[in-house]
Structure 1
C-alpha cells in the first residue's frame, strides 16, 4: 500500500544485511549512521526523493523498521566504568564467540595462519612529548625545557600489524582540507596521507586507508584471503562502503571486546608502547641538534625513524602472543592483571558507598 519506497527492495535488503552483520561482528549501528549512509547513496545516484538534503528522517526510519522486522531498535544501557570492568568470563566468551563465528563462515583455518590475522588501531603522537626528568642544581626550582613543538598538538597515526610480525604501511592524518606540498613530499611512497577537519580518523579516511593502502599491500604480498582484521569498536568507523568493500575483497572485520583493548589488542599491549618510547628518544635527539620546533611539515621524517626503530617483528609477535590472539589461546591472557583491576573497582565502589552513607548520616 502507498507510494513506492525511495530505495529499491534490493537496496533495502542490502541495508538490512549490513545492519545485522555489523551488529554480529560487534559494531551495533546508531540510527543516525543509517540515515547518513542512505543520504550518501542518494547523493551519489542523484535519485529524486522527498527528504531534506537527501537525508531521511524519523518517519522513514520507523517505516524501514516496519518493513524489516529482523531489525529492532533498543536503547543502550548506560553503565559506569566500574560496572564495565572486564572479567575473565567475558574475555573467554569473546574468544569462544570469535572461534564460533569463523567456524560458521567456514574460515576457522585463519586462526592457524599468522599471516592472515591482523590488528589495526590508531594512536596519537605529541609533537612535544615529555622526555623525562632533567638534571640540574639540587636547590634550583626553575627547571625549564624549551618545547620542541606546539605543546598540545597531537598527530593521529593509523597502524596495522599481523601476527606473523609484518607491518602494513601506516596512515598519518592531518587537519587539512588539502595537504600542503611540503608535507606530501615528505611521505614515504607507500604510506597513506589522511586528512580530516579535526585531524582525527573518520569513516572517509579509514575507508581510504583500507582501499588504497592496506588492501593493495595485502594483494601485493599474495596473502591468502580471507583475512581477519581485529578492530577497536570505538574507533573502527565502519561505513556501508567499507563494509561492502571488505565483504567483496575477503577482509573479515571483527570487534575486540569493549573495555579490554589494553588486554586483547596487540597494538596497545606492545607495539604502540615501543613506538612512543622511540618517538620520545627521537624528539630528545632533535632538541639537542636544533632549536627548531617539530611541526606538521617536519613530523614525517622524524616519525619514520621512530616507526622503523620501534616496529620490530619480535615486538609485534610478542603482542599477539601475550593477547592470546596467536597462537589462539584464551589461557595466554594475564587474568591476574584483570583480577587486580576488578578488585580495585570493587574497592572503589565500596568506598563510595561508605562515603555516601556517612554523608547521609550527617545530613540527618
Structure 2
C-alpha cells in the first residue's frame, strides 16, 4: 500500500468523523462486507498410517459458493446476514432449508451468486436502514466494489443522512474490519462444521443443510469482541492511523526510490516538484510518488512534496504532540517509520496537492463526489451500452 494514499484516506476519514460528530460514536460507525462460503470445505489434517499416500474422506462434489453479506458496528453489534444464492428466480430457494436460517436473515437470488447493484440497494433499504435505528447521522464504511457506489444508493444515503466512506482500492486486507478479524473466524468455523457434519452423518453438505449449519456458525463465530477488534486494527474506531502496521507499506519509500527510476515527461504534474526545471509525470497513486522523496541524477535533484496537512491530519493528537516534541529536541524514536516519514515532509517546504491528484473521493456522499457521479456514469462504457440497448428496445416497441 502507498503511504501517501493511506494518509489521504485517513485525513478524509477524520474530517468526515469530526464534521458529523461521529469521532467517538462507536454504535453509529458501521462496516459492510461480503464473503463466500463453499459447500465443500477444506478438510482438516487427519492421522493415518505412515506411508499412506491416499486417505479417503466423504465430501460434497459441489463447488457451489454462496455469498454472505455481513454488517456490524464498532460497538460489536451485528445486523442480520444477507445470503445470496445462485438462481434466476426465487424458486431457486425451494431446494434450501430457509426455515433454519439465522433470525431475520434476508435472502436474495443472483444469476452469478455474487452481489449486484440491485441487491446492494435492496440490502441498504431492507436490512441496513431498518436495523440501525432512527438516530442520524451514521456512517457506513465499504470497499470499492462497483455495486456499492451506484448513484441510486448514494442518493438514498444522502436523503437518509448516512455518510458512505469508500476504502482505498486494494487495501481491504488491512483497512476492512470484517477482513481483519471476523471472516477468518467465520470461515474456520464453517469448515469445521461442514467436516464434522459429514463425518458424523456420512451425508455431504448440500442445499438442505446450508442454513442449518450457517445458523450454528453465525452464533459462534460472529462475536462482539471480534468485530470491535477489527475496527481497532483498521484505525477506524477509535481513530488511529498508527494501527496499520508498517509491514503494510512494504516495500518502503526508500526501497522503491532505489529500484524505480523516474523518467522526464512533457506532461504537467499536479504535485509541486522542487529543484527541477523539467516537468515530470507523476501519478500520486502510483509507486513513483512513494519512490521520489529524494531522487538525484547528476546535478538535478527531484523532490516530491506532500501537503503537510495531509500527513498531520492523519495522526492522532497525542501522537502528533509527541512527534513535535521529538522534532524540536532533535531526537529520533527508534523503530518508528511513521515518524521518519512525518519528519521528512516536515523538514521540506510545503506544497499543495490539488484535489485532482486524489484520484477519487473516499467520502462518496459528499457534495463534490455526488456532483461528479453523472460524468462518471457517462464515461463508463458499460453504462452507455445499457442506455443504447434500452433505446433500441423502446424503438422496437
Same fold, judged at TM 0.5 (above): yes
Shift of 1:283: 1.1
Shift of 1:342: 8.2
One of 249, 260, 273 as aligned partner of 1:338: 249
Contact 1:150/1:295, CA 8 A, preserved across alignment: no
Alignment match, 1:218: 132
Alignment match, 2:37: 125
Please state if 1:155 is matched with 2:69: no
Give the whole-Å Cα distance in 2 for the aligned partners of 1:101 and 1:192. Answer: 30
Contact 1:88/1:335, CA 8 A, preserved across alignment: no
Alignment match, 2:277: none
Give the whole-Å Cα distance in 2 for the aligned partners of 1:308 and 1:258. Answer: 31
Give the whole-Å Cα distance in 1 for the aligned partners of 2:252 and 2:49. Answer: 40
Give the whole-Å Cα distance in 2 for the aligned partners of 1:240 and 1:338. Answer: 32
Shift of 1:93: 1.8
Please state if 1:116 is matched with 2:116: no
Shift of 1:323: 0.7
Quote the RMSD (CA, aligned, Å).
Answer: 2.5
Shift of 1:298: 1.7
Give the whole-Å Cα distance in 2 for the aligned partners of 1:162 and 1:246. Answer: 17
Alignment match, 1:185: 99
Please state if 1:200 is matched with 2:114: yes
Alignment match, 1:328: 239
Shift of 1:145: 2.1
Please state if 1:146 is matched with 2:61: no
Alignment match, 1:42: none
Alignment match, 1:95: 10
SS in structure 1 opposite 2:75? coil
Shift of 1:243: 2.0
Please state if 1:166 is matched with 2:81: no
Task: Output aligned runs, 1:255-266, within 5 Å.
Answer: 255-266=166-177
In structure 2, do the counterparts of structure 1 residues 141 and 210 end up closer, same or farther at CA, with 3 Å as the change threshold?
same
Contact 1:117/1:227, CA 8 A, preserved across alignment: yes
Shift of 1:242: 1.9
Contact 2:29/2:74, CA 8 A, preserved across alignment: yes
Alignment match, 2:204: 293
SS in structure 1 opposite 2:193? helix
Shift of 1:180: 2.7
Alignment match, 1:270: 181
In structure 2, do the counterparts of structure 1 residues 274 and 189 end up closer, same or farther at CA, with 3 Å as the change threshold?
closer
Per mean C-alpha deviation after superposition, the further-off stretch among 279-288 and 261-270 is 279-288
Shift of 1:92: 1.9
TM-score, L = length of structure 1: 0.66
Give the whole-Å Cα distance in 1 for the aligned partners of 2:37 and 2:233. Answer: 24
SS in structure 2 opposite 1:131? coil
Which consecutive unaligned segments of at least 5 residues does structure 1 have?
Answer: 1-85, 351-364
1:52-89 alpha-carbon deviations (Å, 9 max, x no partner) = xxxxxxxxxxxxxxxxxxxxxxxxxxxxxxxxxx1223
Shift of 1:188: 3.6
Contact 2:36/2:66, CA 8 A, preserved across alignment: yes
SS in structure 2 opposite 1:167? coil
SS in structure 2 opposite 1:293? coil
Which consecutive unaligned segments of at least 5 residues does structure 2 have?
Answer: 262-397
In structure 2, do the counterparts of structure 1 residues 287 and 91 end up closer, same or farther at CA, with 3 Å as the change threshold?
same
SS in structure 1 opposite 2:140? strand
In structure 2, do the counterparts of structure 1 residues 316 and 189 end up closer, same or farther at CA, with 3 Å as the change threshold?
closer
In structure 2, do the counterparts of structure 1 residues 347 and 259 end up closer, same or farther at CA, with 3 Å as the change threshold?
farther
TM-score, L = length of structure 2: 0.60
Alignment match, 1:19: none
Alignment match, 1:45: none
Give the whole-Å Cα distance in 2 for the aligned partners of 1:345 and 1:128. Answer: 42
